[in-house]
A and B are shown apart, each in its own frame.
Chain A
Amino acid sequence: MLANRPSRTTQPAVATAANTSDAVTLLKVVDLSVTYRTRRGDVMAVDGVSFDLERGEFLGIVGESGCGKSTLLFAIAQLLAPPAVVTSGSVNFRGTDLTELTEHELATIRWKELSVVMQSAMNALNPVKSIGSQFADAMRAHGVRSKPQIAERSAEVLRMVGIDPTHLGSYPHQLSGGMRQRSMIAMALLFTPDLVIMDEPTSALDVVAQRSLMLQIKELQQTLGFAVLFVTHDMSLVSHFSDRLLVMYAGQVAELGATRRIFDTPLHPYTRGLLDAFPSVRGPKVPLTGIPGSPPYLARLPDGCRFAPRCPVVEDRCREQAIDLVDVDGQVVRCIKYRNGVVIGD
């Protein structure tokens, strides 16, 4: 159960028939929709999102405010609370649909096979308990009772993230922001889960601490072999670390594909707009325009393409009906200009 797992190889292993436990995709999200049922009406925050995640893979979920990425994350981690409700689709973790499980059944999976790192450690860590006692809580909650085992494992995970184990006795406010986030990650790795879900873990950090943390995450991922679902609003941050990228807009998947391909050939006008919105520190200085307007109110969505009001290359037919996802040579995009892998029009 604990600490007896051998180190995995550094390459993300693709599921092959030879690995019996790998025969099933680690995480398969199928047509997932989440609705907030309120007195004023229903709001669909996540609309028909599908993607696969293999063992050891790093998937970045990118989008701006209101795109539904955090809701999607909570839905996958089964952390939704009313009025949010999964209204369709499934979240299949190693073949089992998590949305169908009871709390009791979920508890056996939580933290042992799937763990979550929240956005702000200051909000997620208990301010009146030391780090060590919070680790102990987590372990006891999942069946580890032996004090020596708890102590040993706590020290081990802290070392893994580069923190001196003497800090087990420290309180969260005594640690710097970077160290707090690292201890959150350490806590998530207590049982070496197969999937770690991270919700903008670096957004509260400065740029140097951010880079350091990302490098640490990537290194841990390669040594321990877990898969990562990483939600962020900063595309450039994940550009070096993720294998694939999922761009969300207004609750839907706008584009999905290998990271490098999306950066080199962004297909969706929104993705292009996002990439263009980052001024660079190196290279020539160019005037940028960003993306005019703002994301739509999820309660009052336009007919047709949700990006149409802001799209620089919009056409009349974009507004007529809802747009489906199309596969363009391994890259999935929701834009009317691509059909059957062929670029039509501009």
Chain B
Amino acid sequence: MTDAPPLLRTDNLTRHFRIGGGLRRLQLHAVDEVSLQIGEREIVALAGESGSGKSTIARLLARIYPPTAGEIYFQGKPLSGLRSRSDVLGYRGHVPMVFQDPFSSINPVFRVSHGVLRSLTLHRPELSAAEREAEAVRVFEAVGLTPAADILHRFPYELSGGQRQRVGFAQALAMRPRLILADEPVSMLDVSIRIGLLNLMKQLRDEQGVSILYITHDIASARYVADRLIVLYAGRIAESGPVEDVLAAPRHPYTQLLLSAVPDPNADLTAGATTDRGEPPKVINPRPGCRFAPRCPLVTTDCVNITPALLPLSPGHDAACLVAQSGAEAKAF
């Protein structure tokens, strides 16, 4: 039986940044050995706090900079093999990105039609000018910006934050993408507006057949919109699996901590509250060992010395925790 390759797969994706002046050899380990995959018609949430590496992964997948090590495979083909401009352009058309800040992600001097029309010109050159106009109207309607013809002629300052983010999705949709990289698309929007966009993402998956990598620090929205959840800590994957499984039975102590810290009006927050201050590490020239060890109540000597591998603990549900892998019932928070 031949398996079609997943839509996107990374193999030990790693990215380091040199920091510090001149002579010092300090490497910031933003992303280390991340192997994940995304299938067709799937929303995968990549959750983590600041410094976890989630934005770096998005930028690696968007080819904003190359990986230090590891490889990215799109539809089975490695990205490092893309040489010519048309190859790269083809990839960019299949894997566009939606940005976080609705106020700086659109050029303020042009009307909002500018970005969509450019996307169409670059990625679907077979269209005539009139066809491009029609497509622009179609994608604006698909993201809920109606009346499309009217909104296309407005300037960004005339639109609300939520509308601008929809413009971002429209620009991505215009390219007929297979996977949309959404980098914290709702973090800067008002709470009541977020739901609208989260619902839009689900709609895009269902109606347009597009997969979405949803990057967020908000577990609750990840649960609402995603099929699978990947939890990132200090540049490494801590846990991954179907979203309900991971949240109902989190195996990694960090996932448990994250879950317990989410404010829920109907639950008592102070139950299970710890003295954990929430200081995520800056990973500079790290030693081997679990990066969560300094904060983990279940830490053992092995945890400090051996870097845990991401292993399946139940079908589809992986965790990188030595204690959890040893079979012990690991309830840290």
Contact = CB atoms under 8 A, between A and B. Distances in A.
Contact of A281 (B220, B268, B279): B220
Interface string B255-292: 00111011111111110010111111000000000000
Contacts of B265: 235-236, 239-240, 263, 275, 278
Contacts of A239: 263, 265
Interface stretch (A112-120, A130-138, A287-295, A318-326): A287-295
A178 B192 contact: no
A208 B278 contact: yes
Nearest to A279: B224
Nearest to A291: B192
A212 interface: yes
B191 A234 contact: yes
Interface in A174-192: 176-179
Chain A interface, DSSP helix/strand/loop, else mixed: loop
Interface string B227-262: 000000000000000001001000000000111011
B269 A211 contact: yes
A283 interface: yes
Given A236-B265, A237-B263, A239-B265, A290 B280 contact: no
B192 A64 contact: yes
Contact of B277 (A178, A275, A277, A285): A178
A219 B50 CA distance: 26
Looking at chain A, what size class is its interface with the partner chain?
35 or more
Nearest to B260: A211
Most A CB atoms within 10 A — which of B220, B267, B277? B277
A290 B163 CA distance: 15
A274 B192 contact: yes
A96 B192 CA distance: 38
B190 A215 contact: no
A219 to B, nearest CB: 10
Interface of A: 64-65, 162, 176-179, 205-212, 215, 233-237, 239-240, 263, 273-275, 277-283, 285, 287-292, 294
The 4 A-B pairs of least Cβ separation, nearest first, read: A209-B278, A290-B195, A208-B278, A279-B224
23 contacts: A64-B192, A177-B50, A206-B278, A207-B261, A207-B278, A208-B276, A209-B277, A209-B279, A211-B269, A239-B265, A240-B268, A274-B191, A277-B195, A279-B195, A279-B220, A279-B224, A280-B220, A281-B247, A285-B224, A288-B195, A288-B224, A289-B195, A290-B195
Interface of B: 49-50, 160-163, 190-196, 198-199, 217-221, 223-224, 244, 247, 257-259, 261-270, 273, 275-280
